[in-house]
Amino acid sequence: MLVEFGLGHGLVHPVKGNDDPSTPQPAGDHATAEALANVRERGDSLAGLRTVWEKRQRATWAEDVAIYRHAVGSALKLGEAFLAYDIAREGLRAFAGDVRLLQLQALALARTGATKRASAILVELREQGQEDEETFGILARTHKDFWMIAPTEEERAHHLRCSLADYLKGYECSGGYYTGINAASMALV
């Protein structure tokens, strides 16, 4: 099951792909630069993002992971978790094991209610040594979801503790406000 998510291949940090718009594109990468610019320019509306996605050139997108990362991020910002999942899934076929795409895919899954699948991706990332604010923050969110639906007090208490612990670990990684605020909130429950 984990292979479906691109797991089991080890963590991959791609050679190409930078989400920073100030990073110059290498010569000869006009098509990929244009594809990324298109996602950036049109990805702030659902109609624009869907048009870009439906008209994409798969071979061009498969040359730069940043195109997929940005498109998934745009879909998530627009509240389109299912579209985000579809984009991440295709991106992981081209960039198997890309940590950021896996994190974004897990977030998309969590937002669709597929909490177990999201958690499985994040646990695998953590077990492979990916211990950063984003991984811990999304994993903590899945435990918060489990806490809210747990059928017994024992399970609720377990997931509450796990959520708090993961938010704290995420905060300790970078001091980010997102995990810090959530850790404080979970500590008050």
Range of the domain at 68: 1-117
- 123 in any annotated domain: no
pLDDT value of residue 30 = 86
For 45-97, the DSSP string reads SHHHHHHHHHT--HHHHTT-HHHHHHHHHHHHHTT-HHHHHHHHHHHHHHSTT
Q: How much of the chain exceeds pLDDT 70, in percent?
A: 85
Cβ atoms of 84 and 91 within 8 Å: the answer is no
Looking at the domain assignment, is residue 47 inside a domain? yes
Using DSSP, state whether 12 is helix, strand or coil.
Answer: strand
3-state secondary structure of 98: strand
pLDDT, tens digit (0-9, with 9 covering 90-100), for 87-98: 999 999 999 999
Give the percent of the chain with pLDDT over 90. 78
113 DSSP 8-state letter: T
Q: Is 100 found in the same domain as 19?
A: yes
Using CB atoms within 10 Å of the CB of residue 92, give its burial: 0 to 12 exposed, 13 to 18 middle, 19+ buried. Answer: buried
Does the structure show a pLDDT above 90 at 164? yes
Tokens of 3: 């292979």
Tell me how many domains the chain contains: 2
- 15/110 Cα distance (integer angstroms): 28
Do residues 94 and 164 both lie within one domain?
Answer: no
- The per-residue pLDDT of the chain, averaged, comes to 87
- Domain membership of residue 171 (yes or no) is yes
Instruction: Return the DSSP state at 5.
Output: G
The residue with greater pLDDT, 22 or 89, is 89
Asked if 25 and 80 sit in the same domain, the reply is: yes
Residue 95 lies in a domain: yes
Model confidence band, residue 24 (pLDDT cutoffs 50, 70, 90): very low
Residues 113 and 136 in one domain: no
Residue 172: other Cβ atoms inside 10 A: 15
Q: Give φ, ψ of 98 to 5 degrees.
A: -65, 120
In this structure, the answer to whether residues 105 and 151 fall within a common structural domain is no
Q: What is the pLDDT of residue 28?
A: 41
Q: Are residues 162 and 188 in the same domain?
A: yes
